[in-house]
Amino acid sequence: MTVRVRLAPSPTGNLHIGTARTAVFNWLYARHRGGKFILRIEDTDRERSRPEYTENILEGLQWLGLTWDEGPYFQSDRLDLYRQAIQTLLDKGLAYYCYCTPEELDALRSEQKPRAVAPRYDNRHRHLTPQEQAAFEAAGRTPVIRFKIEDDRQIEWQDLVRGRVSWQGADLGGDMVIARAAPRGEIGYPLYNLVVVVDDIAMGITDVIRGEDHIGNTPKQILLYEALGATPPNFAHTPLILNSAGQKLSKRDGVTSISDFRAMGYLAPALANYMTLLGWSPPRRDGGTLYP
């Protein structure tokens, strides 16, 4: 099977060194395996996405020599596809309308907080009758759409970096919102986990290589693959670039965007080489490992 990997940046900022490093891993893997490297711009966050960031990302990748074979695809062009998938989940009874207001959800959270339990939706609208739904609609409420997550499900995968990873359904925050609120009969704006899975299926992605900040999304995505009748790809969650205090690198630590490094005079091959070697250590001379 031909390897197909993707980089899926959100255009909510300039090309970040962490995203560029994820691109390096994907690019190298595609080139090594004679596969395809696909670029997909995840611009479904309408408030924060900007065309100038997309431009900065494309330019930065090109400058680094991380050329892609397909795309860029834009998620904002593909909304019909996501809505079809949501309709399929509704038709199969795997998703449902939830009419809770933000105030009700806040009240639920404040009731959970003192009990020191992780915030989660209690699936209270999972089994509404048509009459109850009609009453909420008559009261002017517009529903979101939630995907069912069973508490007793155990989700496991063999991560190519981290080995066996296992999650309990009960730890995934309750039934997950996959579409924003919209009047009944319409399907609201689709959300991250759903659109990623629909695209990765449609684009035939074989290996998802991304930062480990996404590891908590993976069990939810695996459930969506299953619900949509598709086989999940391989997953590889790579460690993040950290600052000297061991926290995720941020703007406060200094320069983080590729265009800023470029403006400072760094050369593209030097930066690409640095990102490739970051996190790698040479084998010990006696054949042992540096970190047993």
> Which residue ranges make up the site for ligand GLU (CB under 6 A)?
8-10, 42, 196, 210, 214
Distance in Å, CB of 74 to ligand GLU, minimum: 12
Distance in Å, CB of 172 to ligand GLU, minimum: 16
Q: Do 225 and 232 form a contact (C-beta atoms < 8 A)?
A: yes
Q: Do 212 and 18 form a contact (C-beta atoms < 8 A)?
A: no
Ramachandran quadrant class, 42 (left: phi over 0; alpha: psi -120 to 50; beta: rest)? beta
Q: Which is nearer to ligand GLU, 143 or 238 (CB)?
A: 238
Active site residues: 251
Distance in Å, CB of 18 to ligand GLU, minimum: 9
Q: Which DSSP category does 190 fall into?
A: B
SS3 211: strand
Q: Which is nearer to ligand GLU, 113 or 248 (CB)?
A: 248
Q: Which is nearer to ligand GLU, 186 or 213 (CB)?
A: 213
C-alpha dihedral sign at 22, 23, 24, 29: positive
Strand positions, DSSP E, 65-127: 70-74, 95-98
Distance in Å, CB of 127 to ligand GLU, minimum: 32
d(CA 262, CA 89): 46
Q: Which is nearer to ligand GLU, 19 or 96 (CB)?
A: 19
